Amino acid sequence: MRVRPLPLRAAAAALALGLAAAGCAGEGEAAGSVLTLGYSPNITHAPALVGVENGILDGALGSVELAAQTFNAGPDTINALFSGEIDAAFVGPNPAVNGWTQSEGEALHIIAGAATQGTGLVVRDHIEAVDELPGTTLATPMLGGTQDVALRWFAREQGWEVDTAGGGDLSILPQDNPDTVNAFAAGEIDGAWLPEPHLSRVLAEDDARLLVDEPDLWAQTDGQYVTTLLIVNADFLEHHPEVVDDLLRGHIETVDWIGANPDEAAEVSRTHLEDLTGGELDPELTAAAFDNVTFTVDPVAPSLLAQAGQAEAVGLLDPVDLNGIYALDPLNDVLAEAGHELVAGLEG
């Protein structure tokens, strides 16, 4: 059975109520009979797009029903996890760290990686150098999201002042990715720090250029930095570890299938994205976006630590101890079963 996710929406759960609900999300027999998975309509979430569209995740879960819910960006996904609306999710690193911090390490664990790379800063063609950016308006998917932090950190590294109200040397405008694509085409913004496929969609405009390819900023990890993680509600993991194991089996199978069938995986992702958004995507653009992303279950833990430091430096995260955020033993057990290499968290 191929699961059809609910339409794209934003969770409205308040944090205080969400944390209370998270404490009981894994309790009761019904909680283990359904696993609700959250993700976003981005190519960087292709393991979710393909796993849902092809029925791989549903098949791996066996008698447990797979339900799916989509969100524009990670902060909304985290709120839904807090409220118990979803049990597991594909999210960016900064929302995962924020969720860990806000819940004081109680609400979630990272159980696998999903994607690295696939992000960058696209600008109008007349902007030829980084030092021409002051005075421009640049979009990001959502305040506090992974690309939002990346842009604010980049600005800080240049010595520029920015704030969360859109002021400073740059005007940073958080908005939904489809709105950013339309705003660039209409001449309303000068550029955006985006994930795929929205990055490639904007780059397809006649007056667009890639000014910053984010892998170039990650020399310390050889250009690899996590863009998507698989997280799970901590109580769900505690009460239903066998369901989480099955989810991981499906996730590994999906990532392996993507690696072996990249062209077909790009087409499957395009089909699923069109179903989610109601729009049409150019197959060539989708293929180009796919080429910019590496899909892996390795969470690239050193990059998460660096990204948390960046979020702290730009004032979007309080100092945080990430010890315990990873729960990789279930993943490594399943990887060992499949004869794959094991992965490491922050402990080595």
If asked whether residues 309 and 176 sit together in one domain, one would say no
By residue range, what is the domain housing residue 303? 15-117+224-338
pLDDT digits (tens, 9 = 90+) for 263-272: 999 999 999 9
DSSP string of 36-47, one letter each residue: EEEE-SSGGGHH
Assess if residue 37 is contained within a domain.
Answer: yes
pTM of the model: 0.85
* Average pLDDT for 49-73: 95
Q: Which of the listed residues 221, 239, 262 is the one where a domain comes to its end?
A: 221
Residue 61, pLDDT above cutoff 60 = yes
DSSP string of 148-213, one letter each residue: HHHHHHHHHHTT--B-TTS-BSSEEEE--HHHHHHHHHTTS-SEEEEETTHHHHHHTSTTEEEEEE
Assess if residue 10 is contained within a domain.
Answer: no
Assess if residue 345 is contained within a domain.
Answer: no
Residue 17, pLDDT above cutoff 50 = no
Q: Per DSSP, what are the bridge partners of residue 209?
A: 123
Assess if residue 293 is contained within a domain.
Answer: yes
pLDDT digits (tens, 9 = 90+) for 110-119: 999 999 999 9
Residue 24, pLDDT above cutoff 80 = no
